[in-house]
C-alpha cells in the first residue's frame, strides 16, 4: 500500500513534487495494472473505490520502496479523507498551496485547453469567460470543495483532513516558497517523509502555456477580497503569512 500521498491542491505544483520524489531511489511511482504505464493520479478514493483495495494495491509492486499516489482531487472530498484514514492510517500526506487567485486562473486556463474533455469536469460554464465562471460559482452551492473557486479555500480542506489524521502526518508546501529555495524545501519534505537526503533532481517538466486572455484587474480584486478571510485564517493556522499572495 502506498505510504506517501500528495493530496492536492490542483494546479499547485503536485506534478513537480511527484517528479522530484519519484526520482528518489526509495520511492516507487504507481504503475497502472491496466496499461503497465506509470501513473501519477490514481483517483482511487473517489472515482475508483468500487474497483477494490486489491486493485489499488496492485499499482505498487516493490515492498522495499515507498509507494506514492499524487491525486489532487483527494483534498476536495471529505469522503476520500475518511477512506484514506481507514485504509492507510499511517500515511504521510503532502498538501501543496499556491496563491488561490493564481491557482484559480491556472485551473481555468487548463480546462479551456482541454475543453472537449473538461466539459465533464468541475466548472459550470465550459467555454465561457473566467469572470463568467467565477460569477456562476458565487451563485451556486457546491458539495465539498470542487470548482474553480472552492478549491482555493485551503484551510477548510485541511481541517477536514485533520478530522482523520494527526497534524504530524500532514506537511504543507507553499509553492511560492518552494520556488524561492527549492533545495531547502525539498530537504524539509524528505525529512518529513522519512527519506534519505538527496540533491534536488533536474526535472524537465511540462509547463502549460497560457492561451486565455490575461487575468483582468477587476476580477482579480474580486477574488482577492473573497479569499482574504480564508487566507488570513490559514496564515493564523500556519503561524506565518505568505506575502506573495497579496
Which DSSP string corresponds to 32-95?
A: -TTT-SEES---TTTTSGGG-HHHHHTT---TTSEEEEE-GGGGG-HHHHHHHHHH-TT-EEEE
Across 193-215, b (16+ Cβ under 10 Å) vs e yields bebeebeeeeeeeeeeeeeeeeb
Q: Judge whether residue 204 has pLDDT over 70.
A: no
Domain ranges of the chain: 4-245
CA gap 29, 21 in Å, rounded: 9
Please say whether the structural domain 4-245 has been given the CATH code 3.30.460.10. Answer: no
Q: Judge whether residue 89 has pLDDT over 80.
A: yes
Q: What is the pTM of this model?
A: 0.95
CA gap 107, 151 in Å, rounded: 10
pLDDT at site 172: 98
CA gap 228, 81 in Å, rounded: 26
- 37: alpha, beta or left, given left = phi > 0 and alpha = psi -120 to 50? beta
Q: What are the beta bridge partners of residue 38? A: 31
Q: Please give the average per-residue pLDDT across 107-129, as a whole number.
A: 97
Q: Please give the average per-residue pLDDT across 71-98, as a whole number.
A: 97
Amino acid at each position: 500500500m502506498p505510504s506517501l500521498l500528495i493530496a492536492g491542491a490542483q494546479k499547485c505544483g503536485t506534478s513537480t513534487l511527484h517528479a522530484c520524489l519519484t526520482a528518489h531511489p526509495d520511492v516507487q511511482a504507481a504503475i497502472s495494472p491496466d496499461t503497465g504505464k506509470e501513473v501519477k493520479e490514481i483517483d482511487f478514493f473517489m472515482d475508483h473505490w468500487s474497483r477494490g483495495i486489491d486493485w489499488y494495491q496492485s499499482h505498487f509492486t516493490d515492498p522495499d520502496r515507498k509507494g506514492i499516489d499524487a491525486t489532487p482531487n483527494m483534498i476536495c472530498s471529505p469522503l476520500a479523507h475518511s477512506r484514506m484514514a481507514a485504509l492507510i492510517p499511517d500515511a504521510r500526506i503532502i498538501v501543496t498551496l499556491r496563491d488561490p487567485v493564481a491557482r484559480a486562473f491556472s485551473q481555468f486556463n487548463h480546462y479551456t485547453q482541454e475543453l472537449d474533455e473538461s466539459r465533464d469536469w468541475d466548472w459550470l460554464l465550459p467555454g465561457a469567460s473566467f469572470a463568467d465562471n467565477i460569477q456562476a460559482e458565487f451563485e451556486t452551492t457546491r458539495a465539498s470543495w470542487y470548482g474553480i473557486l472552492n478549491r482555493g479555500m485551503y484551510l477548510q480542506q485541511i481541517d477536514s483532513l485533520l478530522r482523520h489524521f494527526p497534524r504530524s502526518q500532514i506537511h504543507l508546501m507553499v509553492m511560492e516558497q518552494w520556488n524561492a529555495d527549492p533545495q531547502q524545501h525539498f530537504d524539509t519534505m524528505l525529512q518529513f517523509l522519512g527519506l534519505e537526503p538527496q540533491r534536488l533532481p533536474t526535472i524537465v517538466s511540462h509547463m502549460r502555456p497560457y492561451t486565455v486572455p490575461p487575468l483582468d484587474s477587476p476580477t482579480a480584486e474580486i477574488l482577492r477580497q473573497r479569499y482574504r478571510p480564508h487566507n488570513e485564517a490559514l496564515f493564523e493556522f500556519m503561524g506565518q503569512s505568505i506575502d506573495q499572495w497579496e
